[in-house]
């Protein structure tokens, strides 16, 4: 029976090719536009580490005076000072935690063969690799002893390893970052994430860094960070030591808390830490203020999906609604004109239900065709997005979910538009149409 309905639908479409094409075009364009903006939105808002996103927390401490404004919604600075970040980093609790900051180094081999290049570098504790699930191709993270002793060791990523060592196991080899020699202890597999959720400060969709270095090297090597550095009060800073002791915010801090109990314990710990710091007259704040936000909360807080994207998704769905109204109008005309034929079918024993289903099958087919063409249009749209913006290059794609969503949305939208006309038609009294021609 279902095949028969499909056959009937196909004939019906052929009978009114112009109107059928208009309807398919309308749904295709509607789906195309909607899927273009929805795909970008989907990629932007996608949970980057789904099985763990509720266990990783970004830490914010408000170490400014009461009444100090910040551009976050709750006036809490996004980053930490060096002294706070290191205090938390060196604390006993919790098990996994890391301060984190970005720097830029010139990579070279101290010879003429390799042309020096700049590499974006993440400076972190060794827990970073397990916390954010970086896989190793060769070797592994540096040890806590190496970290404590500020040993000049690095982990490089697959791409850098390919570039410098032709993809061979480079563990134990030496590279130069600026003027310092480092020993490679590990090579990570390429880290494929489209949202750089662990540091959203300078472009949420930039690529991850390609070199990783122990956080304890900041002080001895006087490493300048590349990223946001913000102050809230005037300080005389002339030396690097003064900078490390300053109230400037320039590091991120992440902890892994696996249970509600761990979370509560850590809250208590931070609370106590802030109370203690408050007594050192670093800042004047009556009630200690801090945030522990998990990955998804952190992305929302940092407005990873920009207002523009939300507006576009909203407008696209309104656009789809226009297409639906368009289709509904055409379907009404098309179906009602067929009332005499339906009258005959009814007289020949078709039930209301059968007529109703026949027509819904027809609109579903329109939806399916429109959805498939819509995917094509969306691909065109996404190509346009990639063409316009480098930043969106990795975001403007459709994953399997979106590819399946397109016809699903198209068909449900068409059925939604088709219900009323189909209902009108199946209500047809056979007698009326049989009497007069």
Interaction site with other proteins (CB under 8 A): 18-19, 22, 25-26, 29-30, 33, 36-37, 104, 106, 108, 116-118, 176, 178-179, 224, 226, 234, 236-238, 306-308, 310-312, 315-316, 318-319, 321-323, 325-326, 328-330, 332-334, 337, 381, 384-385, 388-392, 420, 424, 437
What is the smallest separation between the CB atom of 357 and other proteins, expressed in angstroms?
A: 21
Q: Which is nearer to other proteins, 143 or 180 (CB)?
A: 180
Least distance to other proteins from the beta carbon of 159, Å?
17
User: Which one, 140 or 227, has the nearer CB to other proteins?
Assistant: 227
Coil, strand or helix at 157: strand
CB atoms within 10 A of CB 67: 8
CB of 149 to other proteins, least distance (A): 23
Rounded to 5 degrees, what are φ and ψ at 225?
-80, 155
Which is nearer to other proteins, 119 or 131 (by Cβ)?
Answer: 119
The token duo for 73 is 């919604």
Non-local (6+) Cβ contacts of 281 within 8 A are none
- Give the tokens for residue 207: 């690529």
Give me the least distance between CB of 384 and other proteins, in Å please. Answer: 7
Looking at residue 134, the DSSP 8-state letter turns out to be P
Nearer to other proteins, 268 or 391 (CB): 391
From the list 19, 7, 3, 30, the residue with the least C-alpha distance to 374 is 30
Q: How far is the CB of 239 from other proteins (least distance, A)?
A: 8
Transcribe 83-120 into DSSP letters: HHHHHHHTSS-SSEEEEEEEEEEEEE-SSSSSPPEEEE
Closer by beta carbon to other proteins, 87 or else 385: 385
How many residues appear in the chain? 437
Pick the closer one to other proteins by CB: 70 or 269. Answer: 70
- CA contacts within 13 A on the Cβ side of 19: 17
- Exposed/middle/buried for residue 234 (C-beta within 10 Å: 0-12, 13-18, 19+): exposed
Asked if 151 contacts 142 with a C-beta cutoff of 8 angstroms, the reply is yes
User: Least CB distance from residue 66 to other proteins, whole Å?
Assistant: 15
CB of 386 to other proteins, least distance (A): 10
- Least distance (Å) between residue 55 CB and other proteins: 31
CA dist 409 and 321 (Å) reads: 12
Q: Which is nearer to other proteins, 7 or 179 (CB)?
A: 179
Residue whose pair of structure tokens reads 């070797």 in the numeric block: 139
Instruction: Judge whether 203 and 391 are in contact, CB under 8 Å.
Output: yes
Alpha-carbon torsion 290, 78, 296, 315, what sign? positive
Which CB sits closer to other proteins, 14 or 51? 14
Decide whether 10 or 387 has the Cβ nearer to other proteins: 387
- Given the structure tokens 């005309």, which residue do they identify? 333
Looking from the CA of 347 toward its CB, the CA atoms found within 13 Å total 13
Write out the two tokens for 299.
């992305």
Q: How far is the CB of 10 from other proteins (least distance, A)?
A: 20
The least distance separating other proteins from the CB of residue 407, rounded to whole angstroms, comes to 19
Q: Which is nearer to other proteins, 351 or 389 (CB)?
A: 389
CA 186 to chain centre: 28
């Amino acid at each position: 029976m279902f095949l028969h309905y499909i056959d009937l639908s196909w004939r019906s479409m052929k009978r009114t090719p112009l109107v059928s094409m208009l309807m398919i075009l309308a749904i295709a364009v509607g789906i195309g536009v909607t899927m273009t903006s929805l795909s970008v939105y989907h990629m932007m808002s996608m949970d980057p580490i789904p099985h763990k996103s509720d266990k990783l927390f970004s830490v914010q401490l408000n170490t400014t005076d009461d009444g100090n404004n910040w551009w976050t919604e709750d006036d809490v600075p996004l980053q930490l000072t060096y002294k706070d970040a290191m205090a938390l980093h060196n604390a006993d609790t919790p098990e996994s935690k890391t301060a984190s900051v970005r720097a830029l180094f010139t990579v070279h081999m101290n010879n003429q063969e390799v042309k020096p290049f700049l590499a974006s570098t993440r400076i972190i504790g060794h827990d970073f690799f397990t916390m954010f699930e970086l896989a190793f191709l060769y070797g592994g993270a540096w040890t806590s002893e190496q970290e404590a002793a500020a040993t000049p060791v690095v982990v490089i990523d697959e791409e850098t390893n390919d570039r410098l060592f032709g993809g061979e196991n480079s563990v134990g080899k030496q590279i130069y970052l600026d003027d310092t020699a480092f020993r490679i202890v590990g090579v990570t597999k390429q880290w494929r994430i489209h949202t750089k959720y662990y540091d959203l400060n300078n472009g949420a969709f930039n690529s991850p860094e390609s070199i990783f270095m122990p956080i304890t090297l900041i002080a001895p090597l006087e490493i300048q960070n590349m990223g946001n550095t913000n102050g809230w009060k005037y300080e005389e800073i002339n030396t690097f030591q003064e900078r490390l002791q300053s109230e400037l915010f320039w590091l991120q801090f992440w902890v892994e808390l696996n249970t509600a109990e761990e979370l509560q314990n850590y809250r208590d710990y931070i609370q106590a830490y802030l109370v203690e710091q408050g007594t050192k007259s670093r800042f004047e704040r009556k009630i200690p203020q801090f945030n522990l936000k998990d990955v998804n909360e952190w992305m929302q807080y940092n407005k990873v999906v920009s207002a523009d994207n939300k507006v576009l998704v909203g407008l696209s769905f309104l656009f789809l609604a226009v297409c639906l109204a368009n289709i509904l109008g055409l379907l009404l005309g098309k179906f009602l004109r067929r009332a005499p034929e339906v009258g005959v079918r009814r007289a020949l024993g078709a039930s209301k239900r059968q007529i109703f289903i026949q027509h819904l099958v027809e609109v579903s087919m329109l939806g399916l065709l429109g959805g498939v063409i819509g995917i094509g249009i969306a691909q065109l749209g996404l190509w346009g997005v990639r063409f316009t913006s480098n930043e969106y290059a990795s975001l403007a794609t459709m994953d399997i979910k979106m590819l399946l969503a397109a016809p699903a949305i198209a068909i449900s939208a068409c059925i939604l538009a088709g219900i009323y006309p189909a209902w009108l038609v199946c209500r047809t009294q056979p007698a009326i149409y049989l009497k007069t021609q």
